[in-house]
Amino acid sequence: MDDISGNNRPDWRFAGVSVWVTGADTPVGAAASDMFEREGAKVLRSGVDGIPNPRTSAEAFAQTAGLDKIDILVTAVRSISVKPLLESDAADFDNAVADNLIGVFAAMQAAFLKMVDTAKPEPHSNGVMLVVSSIHGEKPNGSAPLYSVACGGLNMLVREAAQEYGRLGVRVNLLAVGPLEGDPALFPSGITAVYDDAEYKIPRQRLGTPEEAARAALMLCSKDASFMNGASVPCDGGYQGFYMNADVERRLEAALAIGKEAGYGR
Amino acid sequence: MAADKNNAMPFTNIPKEYTSALDLAGGMVQLDAYADKPFDGMRVLVTGGGKGVGKGIALAFALRGARVAIGCNSNPDMARDTLDLLRRHTEAELIPSDIGDPDGCDHLVDETVRLLGGLDVVVSNAAIQTNRSMLETTRESFERTLAVNTRAPFLLMKRARPHLTASGAGRFIMVSSVHGKRPTNFDAAYASSKGAMLMLCREAAIAFARDGVTVNIIAPGAVVIEGKTGDPKSFSVLRRKPIRPMTLYPLGRVGVPMDTGEAACFLASRAAGHITGTTIRVDGGSMLL
């Protein structure tokens, strides 16, 4: 049996690692925080227990002030406001961007200065940042449009950070999470069918779970992803490959019949 | 409201021969819209110009006064009807050839140059689609699909290069598909050939830039052509449920050949002289969903 009392278990990828998770109140953020702790990390959770998600640089720096170091930053904030573009005003825009984009930018700044020892003549870090975003950085949802706008901003924020922070060794990647359980209810839309029957547009014909997204996030934070920087990785079960004329079921039946006839498989 | 306007049938006295190419086109195309013949003197080759999307492209150029050669392999009767239609507006030629065969590509370019006296624009539109799943696709049919859909534009651009260079404003336009990016779920060979075309376009755009020749792609979505219905239900795996057209095509209608033709004419125009290596989606926004 596994000995879970020690802190040098070979399957603990994050023993002794300090992790800061913003958006720990979201399903993916909560699942990732739990998983980091199970693998030996010390986790600071923003978004829960009276610690708000930072929306400004000042708030972000205040949250990290007491920490010795940060090795890994995971941002999983998600603030969705269902309101048509035509009815939204500048304040709605500012809110969506502050929650989903500026807060991430501020957390990156604050975390970076805890990752890199600026006192050293040639500072270097093995820090990692992972931005949990969504498929709506590419795909409009027709429901909470300003959320998509913020996600689109994250795509470029991550690439910029990967270039700049990457010079000092910090890797920055993005996980574009696809329809998870519960998502269709968050994005009601009268103008698109993006979430109508979403599970049937995924080859596996089911929605993803927060745990699946969190596991992908941990992989990108681990040493296994040491040469990944500025990457945008979809975690969507293949959902973004769906196009309207996909007659999946009939084709699959035909394919299996052919394979059987040809003697492939069991 | 806008969708209703787009879906309206604006053409009341258009001869029947045009309708398969023009159809609705959102009311944007009028037969006399280009009476000043802005493409007068332009020499254009459209492969697969006998029917479907190619017919719409050839007609869009013809209405603007360009001289048009259409290549065709299958359906010679339809191609002859298209030729008659084009000749009402311009000088047009029909060149039967199989561009799945390298000699067919060379023949098509050489004949066009001989008949039209040169070449300014090539629209590589011809494509085949087998509608077979991956397991059903044989090696032979995969190779044939790649030969017609991707190798042919490659060979055509090589053969046409000196003529396009001599033109001074040469244009090589390829018709790909939304399936160059998005899987079809019914024809892996087709999607692979269209995806390969996207990179062929980018490489060729660099290679041809010094000759002043631009290389671009148009990527149509679903298009109504002869023998295919525009009923959105026929395109959807979700046909068991009532479908709102606008949730499949944000602009509220399926594509028609002339949509692609108009985009090709823009890329061929002087106005598009600084555009190369890019893709224009002409899909009513369907790929956004």
- Which residue shows structure tokens 């950070």? A161
The answer to whether the Cβ–Cβ distance between A192 and B250 falls below 8 Å is: yes
pLDDT confidence bin for A5, thresholds 50/70/90: very low
CA angle (A167, A39, A25) in 5-degree steps: 80
β-pairing, A42-45 vs A18-22, is: parallel
Q: Which residues pair with A22 in a beta bridge?
A: A75
Residue B33: what pLDDT?
74
β-pairing, A171-177 vs A232-235, is: parallel
Average pLDDT value for residue range A125-130: 94
Q: How far apart are the first and last CA of chain A?
A: 35
Q: Which residues contact A164 (CB under 8 A, 6 or more apart)?
A: none
- Work out the percent of chain B whose per-residue pLDDT is above 90: 63
User: In terms of pLDDT, which residue wins out, A123 or B154?
Assistant: B154
Average pLDDT value for residue range A96-104: 96
B41: left (phi over 0), alpha (psi -120 to 50) or beta: left
Q: Which residues pair with B279 in a beta bridge?
A: B217
The answer to whether the Cβ–Cβ distance between A243 and B236 falls below 8 Å is: no
CA dist., res. B150 & res. B280, Å (int): 18
Q: Tokens standing for A44?
A: 């600071």
Using the predicted structure, report yes or no on whether residue A106 has a pLDDT greater than 60: yes
Q: Which residues contact A146 (CB under 8 A, 6 or more apart)?
A: A81, A83, A85, A88, A92, A93, A95, A96, A97
Residue B254: what pLDDT?
74
CB A95 within 8 A of CB A81: yes
CB B128 within 8 A of CB B178: no
Q: Is the Cβ of A193 closer than 8 Å to some Cβ of chain B?
A: yes
Q: How far apart are the first and last CA of chain B?
A: 21
Using the predicted structure, report yes or no on whether residue A9 has a pLDDT greater than 90: no
Q: Tokens standing for B104?
A: 């067919």
Average pLDDT, chain A: 90
Residue A2: what pLDDT?
44
Instruction: Give the Cβ contact number of residue B103 at 10 Å.
Output: 11
β-pairing, B121-124 vs B43-46, is: parallel
**Which residue in B has a C-alpha nearest to residue A137's C-alpha?**
B288
Return the CATH fold of B35-229+256-288. Answer: Rossmann fold (3.40.50)
pLDDT confidence bin for A3, thresholds 50/70/90: very low
Tell me the pLDDT tens digit for each residue of A162-218: 999 999 999 999 999 999 999 999 999 877 778 888 888 888 889 999 999 999 999
The answer to whether the Cβ–Cβ distance between B186 and A259 falls below 8 Å is: no
Q: Which residues of B touch A139 (CB under 8 A)?
A: 288-289
Per-residue pLDDT tens, chain B, 289 aa: give them.
Answer: 333 444 433 334 455 556 555 544 444 566 777 888 999 999 999 999 998 899 999 999 999 999 999 999 988 998 999 999 999 999 999 999 999 999 999 999 999 999 999 999 999 999 999 877 787 889 999 999 999 999 999 999 999 999 999 999 999 999 999 999 988 877 889 999 999 999 999 999 999 999 999 999 999 988 877 765 544 444 444 444 545 556 677 887 778 888 899 999 999 999 999 999 999 999 988 888 8
B190 as an active site residue: the answer is yes
Residue B10: what pLDDT?
38
pLDDT confidence bin for A6, thresholds 50/70/90: very low
Residue B12: what pLDDT?
42
The answer to whether the Cβ–Cβ distance between B133 and A254 falls below 8 Å is: yes
Interface of A with B in 242-261 (CB under 8 A): 242-249, 251-252, 254-256, 258-259
Q: Which residues of B touch A193 (CB under 8 A)?
A: 238, 243-244, 247-248, 289
What is the three-class DSSP state of A233? strand
* Residue in B175, B173, B171 with CA at minimum distance from that of residue B148: B175
Of B136, B178, B247, the CB nearest to A258: B136
Residue A125: what pLDDT?
87
CA dist., res. A81 & res. B152, Å (int): 49
Residue A213: what pLDDT?
98
Which amino acid is located at B174 in the chain?
M
Using the predicted structure, report yes or no on whether residue A79 has a pLDDT greater than 70: yes
What is the three-class DSSP state of B218? strand
Tell me the pLDDT tens digit for each residue of A38-71: 999 999 999 999 999 999 999 999 999 989 999 9
ipTM of the complex: 0.77
Q: Which residues of B touch A245 (CB under 8 A)?
A: 184-186, 222, 235-237
* Residue in B136, B126, B118 with CA at minimum distance from that of residue B101: B126
Residue B26: what pLDDT?
43
Torsion of CA B84, B89, B93, B94, to 10 degrees: -40
The answer to whether the Cβ–Cβ distance between B185 and A251 falls below 8 Å is: yes
B18, B34, B190, B249: the active-site residue? B190
Residue A196: what pLDDT?
83
- Which residue shows structure tokens 């001074």? B168
Please report, for residues A92, A132, B212, the alpha-carbon distance to residue A95 in angstroms, rounded to integers and kept in the order given: 5, 19, 48
CA dist., res. B226 & res. B55, Å (int): 10
* Residue in B133, B137, B208 with CA at minimum distance from that of residue B174: B208
* DSSP strands (E only) in chain A: 18-22, 42-45, 72-75, 128-134, 171-177, 232-235
What is the three-class DSSP state of A115? helix
User: In terms of pLDDT, which residue wins out, A248 or A78?
Assistant: A78
Of B186, B243, B288, the CB nearest to A140: B288
Q: What is the CATH number of domain A18-261?
A: 3.40.50.720
Residue B133: what pLDDT?
76
Q: Where are the domains of chain A?
A: 18-261
Average pLDDT value for residue range A253-266: 70
H or E stretch at B93: strand B92-96
CA B109 to chain centre: 17
Residue A242: what pLDDT?
85
Q: Where are the domains of chain B?
A: 35-229+256-288
**Which residue in B has a C-alpha nearest to residue A189's C-alpha?**
B247
CB A147 within 8 A of CB A96: yes
Residue B222: what pLDDT?
82
User: In terms of pLDDT, which residue wins out, A28 or B259?
Assistant: A28
Residue A4: what pLDDT?
46
The answer to whether the Cβ–Cβ distance between B235 and A244 falls below 8 Å is: yes
Residue B258: what pLDDT?
86
CA A204 to chain centre: 21
Q: Which residues of A42-74 are buried (b: 16+ CB within 10 A; e: fewer)?
A: bbbbbbbeeeebbbebebbbebbeeeeebbbbb
Q: Tokens standing for B7?
A: 């879906």
CA dist., res. A132 & res. A155, Å (int): 11
DSSP A157: H
The answer to whether the Cβ–Cβ distance between B289 and A194 falls below 8 Å is: yes
Task: Kindly give the interhelix angle for A103-115 and A57-64, rounded to the nearest 10 degrees.
Answer: 40
A89: left (phi over 0), alpha (psi -120 to 50) or beta: beta
* Residue in A74, A72, A69 with CA at minimum distance from that of residue A23: A74
Instruction: Give the Cβ contact number of residue A119 at 10 Å.
Output: 6
* Residue in B78, B64, B165 with CA at minimum distance from that of residue B122: B165
Residue B40: what pLDDT?
96
Tell me the pLDDT tens digit for each residue of B147-205: 999 999 999 999 999 999 999 999 999 999 999 998 887 788 999 999 999 999 999 99
Q: What are phi and psi of A133, to 5 degrees?
A: -115, -150
CB B49 within 8 A of CB B125: yes
Q: Which residues of A touch B133 (CB under 8 A)?
A: 251-252, 254-255, 258
Q: Is A22 exposed, middle or buried (0-12, 13-18, 19+ CB in 10 A)?
A: buried
Chain A interface disruption, residue of B129, B131, B133, B139, most A CBs within 10 A: B133
Chain B interface disruption, residue of A244, A247, A248, A256, most B CBs within 10 A: A244
Q: Is the Cβ of B31 closer than 8 Å to some Cβ of chain A?
A: no
